[in-house]
Chains A and B, each alone.
Chain A
Amino acid sequence: MTDPLLPSAAIHVAIDRQLLDACAALQLLIAFAMLAQRRIVSLVNLLAAQGAVLAAATLLLAWRTGQGHLYVSGVLTLALKVAFLPWLLHRLIDRLEVRFDAEPALNVSGNLLAGLLVVVFAFGLAQPITHLASTAMRNAIGIALGVVLLAFLMMITRRKAISQVIGFLSMENGLFFGAMSATYGMPMVVELGVALDVLVAMLVLGVFFFQIREQFDSLDLHHLESLGERR
């Protein structure tokens, strides 16, 4: 594996790369932790941690590659995904009084087992891209796809509206991580647009939660199962 930097910087490079790999590993670990977590307040904290790891990896990569737009993206991640969204979610779960609610009927061991298979599948799927990539974090592409699919799995297995939304945001984190690993992020204008969409989505959801709550006195989605083909 050849490195573009000078030999004198090799040790730094090695540490950088290890740190980036550590970030990738942490991402995966957090995704698994989310899959196994029942309590809503812990899920919010895990989401913030995932955002923080994403921001750290982005800033590290920005420093290592000297790409200016990655700094912007890192700061944006920090502001949006580490500070604002968790704050908003905490506020929401306080006002909706679901802070200490937990998911009923969650088969943790089954979930983790399925998660394991999903990650293996993700690595297989990412293989051709990993071979073609030339970035410092190409090994993380498989992990990013794994995080996306784990978040997807989490959304399927949850019953509470808030947990599903956290899964959705975790999926977004995984996608950003993937974009960073494969191509050092998307063009700035696209990244800004995506960030704006995520922000608006959260605001819309905030309104939405209150509507659901007003109507059903609960955020449990099994109340929302009257539709379908029966009519």
Chain B
Amino acid sequence: MIELVLMLATPAAGATVLAFGRWRRHAPELNAVFSFATFLAASALTVRVIGQGPQLLIGEQFYIDPFNVFLVALTAFVGLTTALFSRPYMRIEIAHGRITAARLRLYHSMYQLFMLTMLAALTTNNMGLLWVSLEAATLSTVLLVTLYRTPRSLEAGWKYFILCGVGIAQALFGTILLYFAAERALGAEGVTALLWTHLDGVKSQLEPAVLALAFVFLLVGYGTKAGLVPLHSWLADAHAEGPTPISAVLSGLLLNVALYAIVRCKVLVEGSLHSALPSRMLMGFGIASVALASVLLWRQRDIKRLFAYSSIEHMGLATFAFGMGGAVATFAALLHMTVHSLTKSAIFFATGHAAQKAGSQRMEDIRGLVTLSPTVGWGLMLGTLAILGLPPFGVFASEFLILTTAMREQPWAIPILLAALGLAFAAIFGRVQSMVFGETNMRRLPHAPALLPVFAHLALVLLLGLYVPPYLAGWYEAAARLIGGH
């Protein structure tokens, strides 16, 4: 319990200190220190769950089981590495005159707040608080997307706020319906009626008609946050116009948390409905996302928009796998969430420095990265190869599992998936190749970039492609049993 409290209290304290403290000069370091403390607490919590199994904490309000424990560890880890990356990155942005030192205070404070909301969303056992945390995650990042105050960033921020606000309002209606069904099944239990563990216990008695309706609203609501087609239109703008560390955590973490919320709801609804409706809906949204994103990839000229669309594609793939259900597909979906998060944030780290060197995010302005700084260039190249699903990286393993399961269970999807993956490969690889190799005209950066996070992430992804540690595999399997259904 102490680990959980520390894990949530550290970012809360960090947000306060960084907002009101007087250490402006060392704020980037302080941000990293708080993220490191959060990561330590999350690791301690993880060790506790490995040793003692699922934990129900603080009056049952928090629940950590195999499904969310690895997401907690992943979130805290990427939060730490992003803070390390952001340290030189934001200093360079100041040196380039894109933001002022004063605005950095807002940035750091909101960054910590964002970590808090995501960790709270992952660990809470209360479906209502899950909603509150996810909405708070949007609110804490809106002003980060508009950090540069350019017309484009304001538009992106507005779109992000309104679309996610409306989307998440649908999820609130879904949560109300869930509560309504729960009250009927659990009796007048009031506060406990929204606790996931209680709902899970009585899911077969929940009214199917209400839950089916609730799931539609929940899926649309949280699906907007997860960037599922056709609710994705905020995603690319928010990723492209905000500072790169924020693109990395939006893509690597927020989308995961939203998908996590959908899957938690799916477990309840499937237990009540005993029909394939939730699965079919997930598969439908998933495959639509994969297909449309891979087509839209071809039209992108901005490097961050390119990888934002790739995130939509990968979230779609994971959603499709959750929809297929069954132990193997769910295992693959969880692995895919993990490796996508690590790879995509690594790519955004490299992309951020590349764009700083070129002074532009337009891909045609970025040329010959390898000549000027081999680490950024190779980081981007290796990250791209990993995200495109080349062996021996982890994305290959998860995509391979998803495709082989689909071949057995949903053969109709195979042509669409293969075509989409092929299209995405051609679109991304061609562009990245011309950015990485060739002549260069780019400038040097005033601060040395931190590329350790890029290679740390890629090493982990490589490791996960070659060998999944037994306890991690154990969690994935336990979580797959929990959510696999059928």
Contacts and interface: CB of A to CB of B under 8 A. Distances in A.
A111 interface: no
A227 B183 contact: no
A216 B149 CA distance: 11
B177 interface: yes
Contacts of B264: none
Interface in B301-318: 301-302, 305
A188 B191 contact: yes
A128 B210 contact: yes
Contacts of A129: 177, 180, 209-210, 213
A227 B237 contact: yes
Contact of A193 (B129, B156, B299): B129
B389 interface: no
A187 interface: yes
A183 B177 CA distance: 9
B98 to A, nearest CB: 15
Given A129-B213, A197-B132, A227-B156, A182 B176 contact: yes
Contact of B161 (A178, A208, A216): A208
B128 interface: yes
A183 B180 contact: yes
Contacts of B42: none
Nearest to A182: B180
Interface stretch (B25-33, B134-142, B327-335): B134-142
A172 B305 CA distance: 32
A197 B156 contact: no
Interface string B174-205: 01110110011000001101100000000000
Contacts of B176: 175, 178-179, 182-183, 186
A200 B143 contact: no
Interface in A148-162: 148, 152, 155, 161
Chain A: number of interface residues, binned into ranges: 35 or more
B136 A200 contact: yes
Given A179-B176, A204-B142, A227-B159, A196 B132 contact: yes
A207 B347 CA distance: 32
Contacts of B183: 183
Nearest to A131: B209
Interface centre among A128, A172, A188 (most CB of B within 10 A): A128
Contacts of B154: 208, 211-212, 215-216, 224
Contact of B142 (A132, A164, A187, A208): A208
A193 B128 contact: yes
Interface in A188-220: 188-190, 193-194, 196-197, 200-201, 204-205, 207-208, 211-212, 214-216
Interface residues of B, number: 52
Contacts of B126: 187, 189-190
A165 B156 CA distance: 16
Contact of B158 (A133, A186, A224, A229): A224
B472 interface: no
B155 A225 contact: yes
Given A190-B132, A193-B132, A204 B305 contact: no
Interface residue SS majority, chain B: helix
A208 B132 contact: no
Given A128-B213, A211-B149, A190 B128 contact: yes
Most buried by A among B152, B172, B184: B172
B224 to A, nearest CB: 13
A208 B166 contact: no
Contact of A187 (B166, B177, B193, B362): B193
A227 B155 contact: yes
Contact of A208 (B143, B184, B210, B213): B143
A145 B457 CA distance: 45
A95 interface: no
B165 A132 contact: no
A178 B299 CA distance: 42
B365 interface: no
A207 B166 contact: no
Interface string A164-182: 1000100110010011001
A231 to B, nearest CB: 5
Interface in B155-172: 155-159, 161-162, 165-166, 169, 172
Nearest to B182: A183
A91 interface: no
A12 interface: no
Contact of B157 (A125, A152, A208): A208
Top 7 A-B residue pairs of the complex, sorted by shortest distance between their CB atoms: A190-B128, A193-B132, A224-B155, A128-B209, A179-B176, A197-B135, A182-B180
5 contacts: A129-B180, A175-B173, A183-B180, A190-B126, A193-B131
